Amino acid sequence: MHSVVVIGSGCAGSTAAIYAARAGLEPLVIEGLEAGGQLTLTTDVENFPGFPDGIMGPDLVGRMKRQAQRFGAVYRHGEVSRVDLSERPFKAWIGDEALETKTLIVASGASARWLGLPSEQALIGHGVSSCATCDGFFFRGMPVTVVGGGDSAMEESLFLTRFATEVSVVHRREEFRASKIMLDRARSNEKIHWITSATVSDVEDPDAKEVTGVRLRSTVDGREWDHKTSALFLAIGHIPNTGIFAGQLDLDEQGYIVSHGGAKTSVKGVFHAGDVQDRVYRQAVTAAGAGCKAAIEAERLLEEEG
Ligand code: NAP
């Protein structure tokens, strides 16, 4: 029987683990499929306080993990496939193995959103990617295309200019959601070209198992045209990883956990931390703060219950 099980090992999960471990609760962290979370897919993190020269994303989450382990947190590979939150102790399954825990911290984060085109899905890993940091290097000396109009699209486009001959940003509106500073940086980069009021309607060429171009469609008049490119990077937001909690925790219409004040979910003893609940800020530092809150609330509940 565990006192605290943390689902997820990104900024939120590891910060929860640091606090729970320092409270002597020996938390068990289930790392999940993307161990270390979304920061492992980024390069420089320039806005995490305490690192005036920036820090690489994987380095930052690696340090958080070591910090939690130093105080007795145990990290375990694997993915929670099922939970039973109907009574305490709660149950969480990794494969056939059931874990029991008095409290649960859900820090399972969010995953990249896809367009959902069959040709896109067929070409994932063959030129279609949701992670410029991971795959940009493969397209050195080639033209690439990024879809999206938020900060991620700007960040990925700027990163890709290091390798690609030309980066085309395809965005479905004329206005951008990205922050002014990121948009200005991208706009002042000569390698970046802008295709606005357009979406990708198809990706060529699934038969050849490589990306040779995309079909674009105007969002104004529906006109279609071909655009040559060697890779397609999606930067169109994220979907919270809450599938296993459906019907057990209050979720909103997009699947984010609904907060019941502080780090509380609709089930007493289950706490939320990070992007799995936060659709607004989604920053490393806010996720870390949320992990801290969740661990403190778990500790207080356990203390109240003796
Ligand atoms: P986002 O802000 O939600 O932007 C998603 C973009 O994708 C939007 O421009 C959206 O278009 C577009 N989009 C969504 N679905 C689409 C579809 N089906 N087809 C075509 N386009 C679609 O997501 P994000 O850029 O990943 O950023 C998430 C959060 O992380 C934000 O708070 C952001 O500030 C933060 N972030 C910060 C940094 C940084 O500071 N260094 C870096 C990355 C992310 P519409 O605008 O038309 O909705």
CA 267 to chain centroid: 24
- Same domain? For 92 and 204 the reply is no
What pLDDT was estimated at residue 69? 98
Q: What confidence tens digit (pLDDT) does each residue in 133-157 have?
A: 878 989 999 999 999 999 999 999 9
Asked whether the predicted pLDDT for residue 112 surpasses 90, the reply is no
pLDDT band (50, 70, 90) for residue 306 = confident
CA distance 301 to 5: 14
Closest ligand 1 atom number to CA of residue 281:
32
Are residues 38 and 52 located together in one domain of the fold?
yes
- Note the pLDDT of residue 63: 98
Q: Are residues 255 and 218 in the same domain?
A: no
144 and 246 share one domain = no
Can you give the pLDDT at residue 156? Answer: 94
CA of 5 to the centre of ligand 1 (A): 31
127 and 77 share a domain?
no
Residue ID of nearest Cα to ligand 1 atom 32: 281
Of 66-80, 130-144, 150-164, least confident by mean pLDDT is 130-144
Tens digits of per-residue pLDDT, 166-220?
Answer: 999 999 999 999 999 999 999 999 999 999 999 999 999 999 999 999 999 999 9
Candidates 175, 182, 236: which one to mutate for ligand 1, based on the most atoms within 8 Å of Cβ? Answer: 236
The pLDDT-based confidence of 38 (bands split at 50, 70, 90) is: confident
The residues lining ligand 1, judged by C-beta closer than 6 Å to any ligand atom, are 115, 147-153, 155, 172-173, 177, 179, 199, 235-237, 282
CA distance 288 to 281: 12
How far is the centre of ligand 1, averaged over its atoms, from the C-alpha of 176 (Å)?
9
**Which run of H or E residues covers position 184?**
helix 180-187
Q: Closest Cα to atom 37, ligand 1: which residue? A: 151
Do 242 and 228 fall within a single domain?
no
Please say if the pLDDT value at position 40 is more than 90.
no
The answer to whether residues 165 and 142 belong to one domain is: yes
Rounded Cα distance, 264 and 294, in Å: 8
State the first-to-last Cα distance of the chain, in angstroms, to the nearest integer: 15
Which of 120, 152, 171, 185 has the most ligand 1 atoms within 8 A of CB, as the residue to mutate? 152
CA of 233 to the centre of ligand 1 (A): 13
Predicted local distance difference test score (pLDDT) of residue 304: 97
pTM above 0.75, yes or no: yes
> Residue 116 CA: which ligand 1 atom is closest?
18
Domain range enclosing 250: 2-111+238-304
Q: Which of 187, 207, 234 is the last residue of a domain?
A: 234
Q: What is the DSSP string of 185-222?
A: HHHT-TTEEEEESEEEEEEE-GGGTS--EEEEEETTT-
Report the CATH number that the domain containing residue 18 is assigned in CATH: 3.50.50.60
Report helix, strand or coil for 36.
coil
Spatial distance between the Cα atoms of 170 and 203, rounded to a whole number of angstroms: 13
Question: Based on the domain organization, do 285 and 179 belong to the same domain?
Answer: no
Q: Which residues contact 61 (CB under 8 A, 6 or more apart)?
A: 9, 10, 11, 14, 36, 37, 39, 40
- Predicted confidence (pLDDT) at residue 226 exceeds the cutoff of 90: yes
- Using CB atoms within 10 A of its CB, is residue 204 exposed (0-12), middle (13-18) or buried (19+)? buried
170 & 253 share domain: no
Same-domain status, 218 and 249: no
254 CA from centroid of ligand 1 (Å): 15
Contact status, residue 108 vs residue 272, Cβ threshold 8 Å: no
- CA–centroid distance, 83 to ligand 1, in Å, is 30
Q: How far is CA 240 from CA 109, 135, 146, 149, 153, in A?
A: 6, 23, 22, 20, 19
Do residue 223 and residue 125 come from a single domain?
A: yes
Residue nearest atom 29 in ligand 1 by C-alpha distance: 282
Note the pLDDT of residue 279: 85
Query: How would residue 46 be classed by pLDDT, with cut points 50, 70 and 90?
Result: confident
Same domain, 107 and 244: yes
pLDDT of residue 155: 93
For the annotated catalytic residues, the residue numbers are: 131, 134-135
The minimum-distance atom of ligand 1 relative to the CA of 238 is 26
Residues above pLDDT 90, as percent of the chain: 90
Report the number of distinct structural domains present in the chain.
2
CB 8 within 8 A of CB 106: yes
Q: Select from 195, 219, 234 the last residue of a domain.
A: 234
Q: Which of 185, 205, 234 is the last residue of a domain?
A: 234
